[in-house]
């Protein structure tokens, strides 16, 4: 079937095949790299959530520490660091809530954490108000009545659950990232040799199917051009330009042989007639 195709068609098909193979390799590589980038972004997202959870816990501890300092000293200047801690605590809660909005399980834990943190800060604010309005003894009594230990334990438990889930996600995403790296490496490792091998094979087939027959025909043409009509060219069943050229040369050689044979016969006939004429003339004279 390939022998029926024109040479231009074969060359065009070879380039189309090469382009298609290159496009397929590029597409697979592009998808693998995109997957790698996506996994890296997800890993960074998880690290960001873990960082905000640590910051949230630290700001809550700081707020409690600054509250104790105020209860002891009663100085208004001590309240500023406490207020800063509360602002940072609210900011961390909002960031964690935004970062986990796509995870229903984590979102539920965050909502429970927000309720507990609000309850904890309300307890702290009540003690500060008691210290400001009723003095140290009343604040001390309020602290002994409810030191917030149970709320702290519940907050620590939820934060631990949040971190555990994020660490599990991190492990999954790290594994996916490693697989993506291995996939991209395999694509590069196998596709490049495959591409080179494919084009080398195409080049070899084109050379064998076009260049070699043309060199053979050119050699016979030189032989014929030098006057040697003994060259034998078989009939080609190819229907492309090579087959057409080969069969045309074969027909030309056959025609040249016929013409040469006819000329030789005419020359011999003329020579024979001349000899016969001379012989008849000699007999007449005798």
Smallest Cα–Cα separation from 151: which of 122, 173, 178? 122
The residue with greater pLDDT, 241 or 265, is: 241
Q: How confident is the model at residue 97, as a pLDDT?
A: 87
Q: Name the residue with higher pLDDT: 157 or 209.
A: 157
pLDDT tens figures, 210-224: 777 777 777 777 777
Residue 139: pLDDT over 60? yes
Helix pair 7-73, 79-99: axis angle to 10 deg: 150
For the chain, the structural domain boundaries read 2-200, 229-286
pLDDT at res. 277: 56
For residue 271, give both structure tokens.
């020579």
Q: Is the dihedral of CA 119, 124, 128, 133 positive or negative?
A: positive
Asked whether residue 42 carries a pLDDT value surpassing 80, the answer given is: yes
Q: Which of 7-16, 22-31, 168-177, 260-269 has the lowest mean pLDDT?
A: 260-269
**pLDDT band at 272, cuts 50/70/90?**
low
Residue 284 confidence (pLDDT) above 80: no
Q: Is the pLDDT score of 93 beyond 50? A: yes
Provide the CATH number for the domain formed by 2-200 in this structure. 1.20.120.1730
Contact 35, 180 (CB under 8 A): yes
Mean pLDDT on 19-43: 80
Taking all residues of the chain, what is their mean pLDDT, rounded to a whole number? 78
- ∠ CA 280-282-286, nearest 5°, is 115
Position 222 scores a pLDDT of 75
* 178 or 13, greater pLDDT: 178
Is pLDDT of 286 > 50? no
The tens digit of pLDDT for each residue in 183-196 reads 778 877 887 787 78
Average pLDDT over residues 77-90: 87
pTM summary value: 0.60
Report the distance separating Cα 193 and Cα 254, nearest Å: 49
Q: How far apart are CA 178 and CA 35, in angstroms?
A: 11
The residue written with tokens 């006819």 in the block is 262
């Amino acid at each position: 079937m390939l022998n029926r195709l024109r040479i231009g068609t074969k060359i065009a098909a070879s380039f189309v095949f090469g382009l298609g193979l290159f496009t397929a390799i590029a597409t697979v590589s592009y998808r693998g790299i995109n997957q790698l980038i996506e996994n890296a972004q997800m890993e960074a997202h998880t690290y960001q959530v873990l960082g905000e959870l640590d910051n949230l816990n630290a700001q809550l501890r700081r707020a409690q520490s600054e509250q104790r300092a105020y209860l002891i000293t009663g100085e208004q200047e001590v309240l500023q660091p406490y207020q800063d801690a509360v602002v940072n605590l609210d900011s961390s809660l909002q960031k964690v809530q935004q970062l986990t909005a796509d995870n229903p399980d984590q979102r539920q834990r965050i909502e429970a954490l927000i309720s507990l943190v609000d309850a904890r800060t309300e307890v702290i604010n009540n003690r500060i108000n008691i210290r400001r309005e009723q003095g140290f003894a009343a604040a001390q009594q309020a602290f002994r009545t409810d030191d917030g230990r149970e709320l702290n334990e519940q907050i620590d438990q939820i934060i631990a659950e949040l971190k555990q889930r994020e660490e599990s996600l991190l492990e999954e995403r790290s594994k996916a990232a490693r697989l993506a790296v291995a996939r991209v490496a395999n694509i590069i490792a196998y596709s490049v040799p495959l591409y080179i091998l494919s084009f080398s094979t195409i080049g070899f087939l084109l050379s064998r199917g076009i260049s070699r027959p043309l060199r053979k025909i050119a050699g016979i043409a030189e032989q014929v051009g030098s006057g040697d009509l003994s060259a034998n060219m078989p009939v080609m069943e190819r229907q492309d330009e090579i087959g057409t050229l080969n069969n045309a040369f074969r027909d030309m050689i056959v025609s040249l042989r016929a013409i040469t044979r006819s000329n030789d016969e005419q020359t011999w006939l003329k020579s024979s007639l001349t000899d016969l004429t001379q012989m008849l003339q000699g007999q007449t004279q005798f």
